[in-house]
Amino acid sequence: MGRLADKVAVVFGGARGIGLATVKEFLAEGATVYASDIREPAEKLDHENYSHSIVDATDENDVDTFVQDVLTRAGRIDVLFNNVGIHLGKPLAETTLDEFNTIFALNVRAAFLGTRAVLPGMIERKSGSIITTSSNGGVMGRPGDPVYNATKHALVGLTKSIAVAHAHQGIRANTVNPGAIDTDMLRGTLASPEEFEAKQHALVASTPAARIGEAWEVAKAVVFLASDESRFINGVLLPIDGAKAAGAMPNNRYSLDFDLGVK
């Protein structure tokens, strides 16, 4: 028996990266998965308990129609994974209002719409687990991406408030807060493979564990929060970041020529 046997899971942002890795883990643990994304999946998954729909998670009508469709087909939703997100690595003074509006509309509105769509059914059934992908940038301030960081803090606030409001109705809401994870997003924020190489060194140097994480390492934590194993864990943020959010390291550790002593 899988840890998510008999659970119906909805995933927003499930076409690649952390979302796709989580879809695979959900399926491996016995869940029925209704994945969605604005794009087709990067990998074709052949599984009888899996479907993928094209949904713009920022569009109210798209989200509500998709969730209603899942409810019609499956009868209930046990797990919601709000994973949609885009990055913006710009200093505040250089950020345009359009960019600000776009990233908030995506990172925060998507989680709001997805959660609002599934909540009534979860309240009715007095059961449900909502997991939202925040970030290391939702735990602490960072110099390079202040507005992205603000969206990821907003998701923590949304999550804690849902937990406090609905815990007595059997609903849990938690965030996962990944550090640097090797996905298209991480690579795509940089213009060239050479830039990625340079940036990678800086990311590794600034992570106590001295490495970048893998998408499946986040997915495993999402499975735990989705499962009944975490039934008394509610309203928490869970860093998955090789200790990056845990505190500062010695100053020389952040220098690019610091010898990490690892391969």
Nearest Cα neighbor of 115 from 72, 167, 173 is: 173
- Contact yes or no for 19/35 (Cβ under 8 A): yes
Residue 81, beta-bridge partner list: 11, 131
As measured in angstroms, the least distance from the Cβ of 140 to ligand NAD is 12
- Contact yes or no for 107/148 (Cβ under 8 A): yes
In this structure, what are the phi and psi dihedrals at residue 123, rounded to the nearest 5 degrees?
-65, -45
Identify the active-site residue in 34, 50, 148, 254.
148
- Residue 106's identity, in one-letter code, is L
Query: Which residue, 75 or 188, is less far from ligand NAD as judged by CB?
Result: 188
- Contact yes or no for 114/12 (Cβ under 8 A): yes
Query: Which residue, 217 or 249, is less far from ligand NAD as judged by CB?
Result: 217
Q: What mask of x and - would describe binding to ligand NAD in positions 180 to 209, judged by CB under 6 A?
A: xx-xxxx-----------------------
Is residue 148 part of the annotated active site? The answer reads: yes
Q: How many residues bind ligand NAD (CB under 6 A)?
A: 28
- Residue 13's identity, in one-letter code, is G
Query: Which residue, 74 or 185, is less far from ligand NAD as judged by CB?
Result: 185
Instruction: Round the CA-based radius of gyration of the chain to a whole number and report it.
Output: 18
Q: Is residue 239 within the footprint of ligand NAD (CB under 6 A)?
A: no
Other Cβ atoms closer than 10 A to 229: 11
The helix or strand, by DSSP H or E, that contains position 238, with its residue range, turns out to be strand 237-240
Nearest Cα neighbor of 76 from 133, 30, 8, 131 is: 8
**Quick one: which of 4, 9, 13, 237 contacts ligand NAD (CB under 6 A)?**
13
Q: Is residue 231 within the footprint of ligand NAD (CB under 6 A)?
A: no
Q: Is residue 19 within the footprint of ligand NAD (CB under 6 A)?
A: yes
Q: Is residue 135 within the footprint of ligand NAD (CB under 6 A)?
A: yes
Residues numbered 36 to 65 that lie near ligand NAD (CB under 6 A) are 37-39, 55-58
Residues numbered 75 to 134 that lie near ligand NAD (CB under 6 A) are 83-86, 106, 133
What is the rounded CA–CA span in Å between residue 129 and residue 31? Answer: 13
Query: Which residue, 108 or 163, is less far from ligand NAD as judged by CB?
Result: 108
Residues that bind ligand NAD (CB under 6 A): 13, 15-19, 37-39, 55-58, 83-86, 106, 133, 135-136, 178, 180-181, 183-186
Which residues are identified as catalytic?
A: 148
